[in-house]
Amino acid sequence: MKRSFAIVLAAVAGVVAFAGLVHAVLIAAHVSEPAAITVYGLTPRRLWATTAVVLALVGLVIGGVALARPVSCFGTASGPLGAVVALAVGLVAAINGGLNLAVANGGPGTGNGVVGGAAAFVLGLLATAFGGLALARRRRSA
């Protein structure tokens, strides 16, 4: 019971921290004000931001597996290759998220994909950190 509660509490704390970081990135990019007129549907910039978020999530998962299992039978997601892939994919996602925020001319609801861009930026930095930690652990143990 105590372990389940701790896991749920950690998950809630992680979600709150992620939401806070995304909001901080939106404020830093000066695009935190909601739009007066909301755009519905998929726009090219929203597609760009969504692609960057998916790329960042893939990098985060690969980096997490490389960090948790430095030597295993999972193929590309383990060992130094997994760490390098997570590092590269996280960097690409963070750069694309930052570029999306840089070219945005409005806040959430304008169709510019600013929330997705901020999420891609935060998740890309996390994936880069996971990949870097896994690579440093691999080099230290070798």
Instruction: Give the per-residue pLDDT at 141.
Output: 64
Instruction: Give the per-residue pLDDT at 96.
Output: 95
Per-residue pLDDT reduced to its tens digit, 49-96: 999 999 999 999 998 888 887 565 555 455 688 889 999 999 999 999
Q: Of 86, 85, 112, 84, nearest to 99 (Cα)?
A: 112
Q: H helices of the chain, where?
A: 2-28, 44-68, 79-103, 114-141
